Structure 1
């Protein structure tokens, strides 16, 4: 059996108080899922861009996970209907 993998890209855009993440997941069937996440820094919080990236990235990846669950659910339903 040959190993299988997915490719995920996460890019960030930041300013002084906001971090935005854009995630892209490429699947074996050639489809792509895209998601976004955001994080905001309070003025009194330390300026640590890494933390904003982690939060925004996690939120984008959680969105991708939800989309992937929905896609799989639809595909299972389609297969069940086709088998009936």
Structure 2
């Protein structure tokens, strides 16, 4: 069976005055929305390069989102397995 779908991903980046970058990434499947979070902190002795903070925070947020998505899939698989009817054992064969 063929299946086509489209999911939307939105990534928002925020940088505080203290050199902390925060990222929120939202996956919208049309029926479910998951949000991942990530942060990056600039070491005070390092040069502040906003692009690096953005990359780290975004990558961490997407990593968080990926874990949530894999956990959701695992729960769905477990739910499918639990809803399957058990097959009766053949007569005369031990269980």
TM-score normalised over the length of structure 2: 0.79
- Cα distance in 1, alignment partners of residues 72 and 14 from structure 2: 28
Kindly state the Cα deviation for residue 14 of structure 1 after the two structures are TM-superposed: 0.2
**1:2–1:82: structure 2 CA closer, same or farther, 3 Å change rule?**
closer
Q: Who is 1:73 aligned against?
A: 74
Q: In the alignment, which residue of structure 2 is the partner of 1:19?
A: 21
Runs of 4 or more consecutive aligned structure 1 residues displaced over 2 Å after TM superposition? 1-5
Q: In structure 2, what is the Cα distance between the partners aligned to 1:5 and 1:50?
A: 29
Structure 1 residue ranges without an equivalent (≥5): none
With structure 1 as the length reference, what TM-score do the two structures score? 0.89
What is the aligned residue count? 83
Equivalent in the alignment of 1:54 = 55
Superposition CA RMSD, Å = 1.4
Give the corresponding residue for 2:92.
Answer: none
The aligned counterpart of 2:44 is: 43
Structure with higher RCO (Cα < 8 A, 6+ apart): 1
1:28-63, CA deviations, whole angstroms, 9 ceiling, x for partnerless residues? Answer: 4x1000111000001222221111000000000000
How far apart are 1:2 and its partner, in Å? Answer: 6.0
